[in-house]
Amino acid sequence: MNILIFGPNGSGKGTQGAVVQKKFNLPHIESGVIFRENIKKGTQLGIKAKAYIDRGDLVPDDITIPMILNRLQEADCKNGWLLDGFPRNVEQAKALDKALKEAGMALDYVIEIVLDRDSAKKRIMGRRLCEKDNNHPNNIYIDAIKPAEKDGGFVCRVCGGKLSTRADDQDEAAINKRHDIYYDTKTGTLAAVQYFKDISKQNGGKPKIIEVDGTPGVKEVSEALLAKLG
């Protein structure tokens, strides 16, 4: 089972991705997480990527595309994967499509979480990351996943772990830049989504396109998504 999940930053894509990952027991491959891990470890890749990420720019395709295509070759991806945060533009979509064809692989589902730009921005600014587990969602502006309070501060609502913010989550200019990329229907992420929608149309509905309204609460969105996944 090979799945792509799309949604603007702040749409709950990571949270819903975790739900999909659990349902199908797939490795959840998040390009942003791979970059952040590399930055933390101080690898060459991390050093190269950091400046772009801090500005809210895309890391160049010549770094990102091989990084993801190599990751999909690893042993845990043998029976499928859930790819999140990639592709982010048409060039990446084409590169993925080509690599899959060459490997004799196909996409099963393309999930799109649909959310307007203003709502997405507010959600980003409230997001908190659990330092223990990236799949523990916390957001100070969303009641359903509001962190627990402890000693006048917030801790992870799932495990009580320490929470942090991402520098690029608190930087409005960077958020706007990321959204400019996502909502760009010519060459950006929405163009990449359209690329797969066109393939699906030409290909008798394969991959299956699943559009989910991202405006309700986390639970409602998960339910709608799981119902469509069948």
Stretch that binds ligand AMP, among 55-63, 103-111, 199-207, 219-227 (CB under 6 A): 55-63
134 vs 200, which CB is nearer to ligand AMP? Answer: 134
Quick check: helix, strand or coil at residue 193? helix
Largest CA distance in the chain: 57
- Looking at the Cβ atoms of 20 and 58, the one nearer to ligand AMP is 58
**Is 178 a residue that touches ligand AMP (CB under 6 A)?**
yes
207 binds ligand AMP (CB under 6 A): no
**Per-residue binder mask for ligand AMP (CB under 6 A), 6-45, x = binder:** ---x---------------------xx--x----------
The answer to whether the CB of 26 falls within 8 A of the CB of 3 is yes
Out of 11, 16, 64, 138, the residue judged to bind ligand AMP by CB under 6 A: 64
Contacts of 186 (CB under 8 A, 6+ apart): none
Distances (CA, A) of 221 to 10, 13, 125, 144: 14, 10, 20, 12
Alpha carbon 31 to chain centroid distance?
7
Peptide bond into 87 cis (omega under 30): yes
**Which residues on adjacent β-strands are paired with residue 109?**
3, 208
**Torsion angle, alpha carbons of 226, 183, 53, 210, to 10:** 20
Q: Residue 108 Cβ, how far from ligand AMP at the closest point, in Å?
A: 20
- Asked if 85 touches ligand AMP (CB under 6 A), the answer is yes
Assess 188 for contact with ligand AMP (CB under 6 A). no
Which residues contact ligand AMP (rule: CB under 6 A)?
A: 9, 31-32, 35, 52-53, 56-59, 64, 85-86, 88, 92, 178
